[in-house]
Structures are given as structure tokens and as C-alpha cells.
Amino acid sequence: MSKDLHPTMDPTKMGIGRSIAVLTSGGDAQGMNAAVRATVRVGLYTGAKVYFVHEGYQGLVDGGDHIRPATWESVSMMLQLGGTVIGSARCKDFRSREGRMKAACNLVKLGITNLCVIGGDGSLTGANQFRTEWSGLLADLVRAGKITAEEAKKSSHLNIVGMVGSIDNDFCGTDMTIGTDSALHRIIEVVDAITTTAQSHQRTFILEVMGRHCGYLALVSALACGADWVFIPEMPPDDGWENHLCRRLTDQRSRGSRLNVIIVAEGAISSDGKPITSDQIKKLVTDRLGFDTRTTILGHVQRGGTPSAFDRILGSRMGVEAVMALLEATPDTPACVVSLSGNQAVRLPLMECVQVTKDVTAAMASGKFDEAIKLRGKSFENNWNTYKLLAHINPPDVKSNINVAVMNIGAPCAGMNAAVRAAVKMGIIQGHSMFAVHDGFDGLAHGQIEPINWTTVSGWTGKGGSVLGTKRTLPGKLLEEISENIAKFNLHALIIIGGFEAYVGGLEMVQAREKYEEMCIPMVVIPATVSNNVPGSDFSIGADTALNTITSVSGETAKITAAVRG
């Protein structure tokens, strides 16, 4: 709930006498139903009347049965459904002033002065234009005799709030849009499925993903599956990329890799603005290298399926904030969009965000690709830099003479191996010698330490559990042996990946520095636990996967429960 809410205001009464309409527009996205459900239930909780607008802006223009009252029960059992149950449609009528006049008339007749729009930047821009023209539309309706002056006075101002529902994550101002995480799930499911067949036959797979002119899905998919190459529109490859790509694929095969994965965004372009297609890449790899190559175009599979736990939570949180934004708005409040920033639901000026989104397209069109990356936001820029480090840089010849050990502590969880892989590759890039510690602090005490290299961690990203092995043992009773092995293997730094045991264990080692000088080395803890209980971090590695497993099992249980009566 909004922090701006007056402490003396009763939240169950702040919506009395107000009416809210909610609609979904543009392409559907998983998690839209969660946003609709939250909007309806929080609106009803505040005492407001809430209406569904079916079929997006077309329903707003057509009116009648397309605008129906929503009840608490009408949004039951929709949280787990993909798409949008109230429908979405592209609407040409709303683009004309006559169409917007019809929409305004329909809202005025029902006393609706608060509109919640869930859609992409085009849908939200249309909503803002509707709000800007509102007083003029009402004046025209009064002159035409469609509404009375009294009705116009009661509905003199229209409040607008937007939530971005798009699998492309192409809207600037929010870290994640509703539907993006679920689309990533579909992509990774496909990558996991094709990996087995690719390894069996030593194949190269080229995977084309959606995203129009935004490369977020392609970039993050490449990070998540450890792809050999990614093509995104924000950063076209340098001239001569064909030679570089072939060299990289050949190097991977010579190191023993049985498969190659190339991710292509559907809007990928070369440095001179020409499209780069999956068929073009396939022909290149087949003709030059003779590799057995297959192309998979995911298409609308990415829009389908049930929403991930993240999208259900994101949609719900945004829906709550959207209702609060509408009820707290004044005639002077600009139209806002509910965004996610640093795990917080925040309100940002709608048109400022739309303008930055347009600036990205303009920067790409004029060849200012570095600027386009920056305009996409810090998260996108960090993902791009991380991918370049992990996938495109070969180990340096010059060594730093620094030895860094990596270990897992506590219960195993999904994502631990990805963290080990990233840490090892990053250390090698810096010129350090990397060591793997098996079986946690027990292994550190008993000398289960060995060098680990670039090739060893290849393919670890998608593996569950802990390849290194992990135990819950704390170092308290093993400090003597641990200090001896730190000296024996000449370790200069320690990366501890694990849950609360890793946190406590790291603390015990720091506190033992006065007695054991060998422990006066840099140590860092990376939170990794399904419990998400490590202090100082909003998210622990593994918690999201655990949530999705719980959500999946709960969904299947709900189906069985609904089918069995009595």
C-alpha cells in the first residue's frame, strides 16, 4: 500500500463514491490476470465500484455488455491463468476522436472517472491522450446532447494509471514488465529440451526469440543458458562478425563441447542496419564449418503457459499500487505508470517513460548503440556487460599469482552452479588461479581442494543442486585445519556460496582472524538458499526456482481438488 496514504484515512472507505474501470490492451502477457485480480479486489476493499472493460479499448468504445461490474468472486481462480481473461484487442476506432468520444460517453454514463490500463507503451500513450482530451470530449458530448451538463460536471476529470504488460520488457522506467519472466521460463524450457538432442548429435542450435526491437529476452536467455553467441538490436556485432563467430564455435568444439547455442532476437541487425536472420546464420555455420545446424523459432509459445511465481507477485503488487495511485490522484496529478525499481513498486510520470522508450528507438536508428544500451536502463546495461565478460573473453595469458577458492555451504539449491561458473570465469578473466573446494567447510578442513578451469564449468548454468558438493557443517570446530589448508594451498581469497550457514560460517572465520592470521584474507558470501533468509539481500539464489516449484505443485493440486467433490 502506498506510503503516501494519510495515517488517519480508513483504507476501507477511501474509495466510497468512486468508480474504477480496468482494461487490458495490446498483446497479452502472462501475469495480466494477477494485475486485474489485484485491481478489482483492492478497489472493492476500499469501497469503490470496479468495472471490467472486455476486449480492451474496443470494449471501451463499444460499451454495453463490454463494460461490466466486477465482484470479488469474479476474479477467483484466475491468478494461475495465462493471457487475459477479460480479453484484449487492437482498436482502430480509439485512434480517432470520434471513437474516443464514444468511449468517454460510455464512461460518463456509468460514472467512471478512474481508468487502469494494462498494456504496452502504445496502449499507455493512448490512455494519456484520452485523459488530455477528456474535458474537450465532454464539452463536445454536451453540445451533441449525448450527456447532460450535470453528468459532465460529475465526471469533470479522468484519472489514469498504467501497468506495463509486455513479454518484451521494452518499456523504460521499470526493471521488469508483467509477462517477461514467464516468457523467459518458456525460452529456458525449450533450451533445456533441445540441449539433450544437441549433445547427442553434436549439433549447433540457433534459437530465435521474440522482443521486436528490444533484445532483453535474447540477452537474458543467453545469460541463463550460457549461449555461445547472442544477437540483439541494441548492440549489433562488429564488421567481420562472421569470422569471429566461426572461430568461437570452432574453439568451443575443440575444447570438447558437444553443442553450440546461438540466441537471435527477432529484431537483430548488423552495424549497417540490415536484418540478421536465423536462416542467414544457419547458412553461415553450415557452409563454413560443416556443422550439423538446426533452427528453432519460438514465436507465440513465449506468450503461452501459466505465469511464473514472479509475474503473479509482480502483477499483484502493481495492481495494489495502481488502485492507490488512482484514489490519491488530484486533477493536477499527471498520468502515472506503476513500475518496478529495485524490488519496489513505484509511480513514475507516464509520458516521461514513454519518451525515453522512444528515445531508445531513435538512438538505434541513428546508430548510437552505446546510448541505446544506457537508455534501456542499468539492469540491461549490467546484463550486457556480464554476458560479454562470461561469453566473449578468452582467458588471459598473464597471471596475477592470486589464488581464489570457491565453495558451497548449506543445503543445495538451484542456481548454485551458475554462481560457481560465473565466479570461476570472472576470476580467470582477471588472471587469477581458481580453486574448487568440495563438500563445504569439511572439504576445506580436509584438503578437498583442486584447481578448476574455464572448461570445467562449461554447461553448469542449467544444472541443479551443487556439483562441488555441499554440507551444513560450520567452521567453528575446524578452524585449525582450515587455516592450515589455506596456508598449504596458498589461498588469497574465498568465495562462499550458500544460505544462512554460509553467512554464519563466514562470520566465524572473520572472528577467528585474531587467532589465525591465515584467515586475514578477503571473503565474500553469495546468498544461495530456497529459504531466502540471508541478511542484507532481498533475493537469494534458488528462492525463485523454489517458488515456481511450489506454484506448479499448488496448481496441479488445485485442479485435483476442484475435480473431486464431496
Average pLDDT over residues 396-405: 88
Residue 453, amino acid: N
Q: In what order do the strands lie in the sheet with 159-164?
A: 67-69, 49-53, 19-24, 114-119, 159-164, 336-341, 344-349
**Can you tell me whether residue 69 is helix, strand or coil?**
strand
Give me the active site residues, please. Answer: 168
Average pLDDT over residues 501-513: 97
In the chain, what are the domains?
Answer: 19-177+307-361 (3.40.50.450), 181-303 (3.40.50.460), 403-549 (3.40.50.450)
Q: Is 7 exposed, middle or buried (0-12, 13-18, 19+ CB in 10 A)?
A: exposed
Q: What is the pLDDT of residue 392?
A: 62
Cβ-contact 327, 14 below 8 angstroms? yes
The three grid cell numbers given for residue 323, joined into one nine-digit string: 488502485
**Can you tell me whether residue 212 is helix, strand or coil?**
coil
Q: What is the pLDDT of residue 559?
A: 74
C-alpha–C-alpha distance, residues 484 and 200, integer Å? 44
Residue 397, amino acid: D
Q: What is the pLDDT of residue 9?
A: 66
Q: What is the pLDDT of residue 565?
A: 59
**Model confidence pLDDT, tens digit, residues 190-227:** 998 888 877 788 889 999 999 888 999 999 999 999 89
275-285: buried (b, 16+ CB within 10 Å) or exposed (e) per residue?
A: ebbbeebbebb
Q: Is 517 exposed, middle or buried (0-12, 13-18, 19+ CB in 10 A)?
A: exposed
How close are the terminal C-alpha atoms of the chain, in Å? Answer: 39
Residue 265 backbone dihedrals phi, psi, to 5 degrees:
-75, 145
Average pLDDT over residues 417-422: 96
**Model confidence pLDDT, tens digit, residues 317-353:** 999 999 999 999 999 999 999 999 988 999 999 999 9
Cβ-contact 238, 194 below 8 angstroms? no
Give yes or no for residue 396 having a pLDDT over 80.
no
Q: What is the pLDDT of residue 2?
A: 46
Strand 49-53 to 67-69 pairing: antiparallel
Average pLDDT over residues 105-130: 95
Strand partners, 19: 49
C-alpha–C-alpha distance, residues 238 and 235, integer Å? 9
Residue 405, amino acid: A
Closest among 416, 430, 390, 429 to 496, alpha carbons compared: 416
Q: What is the pLDDT of residue 393?
A: 64
Range list of H helices, 26-96:
32-45, 56-62
Percent of the chain residues past pLDDT 90, beyond the cut? 81
Give yes or no for residue 473 having a pLDDT over 90.
yes
Q: What is the pLDDT of residue 198?
A: 75
Percent of the chain residues past pLDDT 70, beyond the cut? 98
Q: What is the pLDDT of residue 195?
A: 83
Stated pTM of the model: 0.91
Look-up of cell digits 525515453: 356
Assign 131 a pLDDT band (cuts: 50, 70, 90). Answer: very high
Q: What is the pLDDT of residue 348?
A: 96
The alpha carbon torsion through 540, 545, 550, 554 (nearest 10 deg) reads: 140
Q: What is the pLDDT of residue 5?
A: 46
**Can you tell me whether residue 275 is helix, strand or coil?**
strand
**Model confidence pLDDT, tens digit, residues 146-169:** 999 999 999 999 999 999 999 999
**Model confidence pLDDT, tens digit, residues 445-470:** 999 999 999 889 988 998 999 999 99
**Model confidence pLDDT, tens digit, residues 528-552:** 999 999 999 999 999 999 999 999 9
Range list of H helices, 339-478:
350-365, 369-375, 378-392, 416-429, 440-446
**Model confidence pLDDT, tens digit, residues 2-14:** 444 444 567 788 8
